[in-house]
Structure 1
Amino acid sequence: MAQNKSAGVKETSTTSLREAIKQWEDNNNIKISDVEEVKLVGLYPPLEKLDQHMQTLSHVQKLSLSTNVIEKLANFNNFRNLRVLSLGRNNIKSLSGLEAVGETLEQLWISHNLIEKLKGISALKELRVLYISCNLVKDWAEFMKLAELPALVELNFVGNPLEEKMTAEGGWREEVLRRLVSVQKLDGLPLIREVSDDVFREPLPSGTDLDHNDDDSAPADPITAIHADAVGDDGN
């Protein structure tokens, strides 16, 4: 069974969020309230708790908290603009706490954690990109909660027990293709969906010239035109 070897390690000494914010401001010589993107990545000692000082960050559009020892998602109330959240390589076991950003969050990078259940993910109605590789999801019942995400187009699920089992047996990509109708890209590769035969059975309008193309410069299928951003698995 897959194990999360890369999740954050429990530390006896940690950095508080208040200390992390002050250190960021000292290092960048700017008030954190004046920027839209904040990275508190790989702190030493690491960050453990998302306490009430999260409200100092509630204005940001992109927040990176990867490579720490965060265990619980909390205090995202009043985050009205958050679009990208990076939480890779922590000790997170549950997605509970993200409901507050369900109306704005478009990308969630949460690989290399300890997540087995996907309860609460359905609140993320605007989520388009989900990187949740190397977690502990092991059955289709949990996986199918992703079908409640109407905007989801890109998914990375490598390294979860379910993916490893299905890949070994064969048919992983085919099953995802069948179960998640909105997803266009899986584990870094495009999902190509076949066009229904019914498309070709529809009668053509009278007088149609089959040898003429009104737009020879029409773009390729958008599904095959998607490319991965040059970023790591934690979104940084």
Structure 2
Amino acid sequence: MSRKTEATSCTEALRAFEQKSGESPFTAKHLKLWFQKPPIMDMTDVLSKCKECVQLSLSTNAIRRIDSISGMDKLEILSLSRNNIRKIENLSGVAGTLKELWISYNHIDSTHGVEELTSLKVFCAGNNKIDKWPEITRLATLPALEELYLVGNPIEIRESESKTWRTKVLKQLPKLKKLDGIPVTVEELEAAGVL
């Protein structure tokens, strides 16, 4: 006899948010839907009705894929850390407004899909499975990117052991102001040959 996995739907999470906060999820600026018990497994289009939301927090659930959140026209910060996400997808609907994407502790091995986020300033993707330089190079297409966090990815671990990580990243992304939580210095930019 198979046992059905219990999950909280996005509709149920929004209802719980309203009961706890006393605020309508459809007018709230910050939706805190993290750490639901049982966890959210699937994002649904009901989130698109949250038109005033600036910050959507869905961390520490069991979400398997990013589903479209088109209609969230004011969304600036999306937090999806500590889920079961394998790729960055379906973010074109918020590509012009999203400034921060927090997606650490997932199963992501590629940055493909992030290049359409033209307003992105902060990309936090630590402790994933990113292992190849083209995934870092792709981030150079992001005109506003200032902060990058990739600690715990295979590429960062390997390059940090050989003491080349920061220099190599700054050669690719000279506009960064902060890398892995540490401010970029003029000396580092000079060492990378970008000043």
**Fold in common (TM above 0.5):** yes
Distance between the aligned counterparts of 1:196 and 1:139, measured in 2? 22
Alignment match, 2:107:
114
Q: Deviations over 1:89-134 (max 9, x none)?
A: 0001111111211100111111101100111111011100111100
Give the alignment partner of residue 93 of structure 2, picking from 96, 100, 104: 100
Classify 1:75/1:196 alpha carbon distance in 2 versus 1 (closer, same or farther; 3 Å).
closer
Alignment match, 2:160:
167
Preserved contact between residue 58 and residue 76 of structure 1 (Cα < 8 Å): no
Distance between the aligned counterparts of 1:70 and 1:166, measured in 2? 30
Distance between the aligned counterparts of 1:13 and 1:81, measured in 2? 31
Classify 1:88/1:195 alpha carbon distance in 2 versus 1 (closer, same or farther; 3 Å).
closer
Q: Which runs of 5+ in 1 are unaligned?
A: 1-10, 198-236
The 5 Å alignment of 1:204-215 reads none
Distance between the aligned counterparts of 1:195 and 1:88, measured in 2? 29
The RMSD of aligned alpha carbons is 1.7
Alignment match, 2:171:
178
Give the alignment partner of residue 84 of structure 2, picking from 79, 83, 91: 91
The 5 Å alignment of 1:1-236 reads 12-194=5-187
Larger radius of gyration: 1
Give the fraction of aligned pairs with identical amino acids, expressed as a percent. Answer: 35
Q: Which runs of 5+ in 2 are unaligned?
A: 191-195
- Displacement of 1:192 in angstroms is 1.3
Alignment match, 1:216:
none
Q: TM-score, normalised by structure 1?
A: 0.76
Q: Deviations over 1:49-101 (max 9, x none)?
A: 11121123233011100000001111211121000111110001111111211
Preserved contact between residue 93 and residue 115 of structure 1 (Cα < 8 Å): yes
Which sits farther off after the overlay, 187-196 or 61-70?
187-196
For 1:147, give the aligned amino acid. Answer: A
Q: Deviations over 1:189-215 (max 9, x none)?
A: 111134999xxxxxxxxxxxxxxxxxx
Preserved contact between residue 58 and residue 79 of structure 2 (Cα < 8 Å): yes
Preserved contact between residue 122 and residue 148 of structure 2 (Cα < 8 Å): yes
Q: TM-score, normalised by structure 2?
A: 0.91
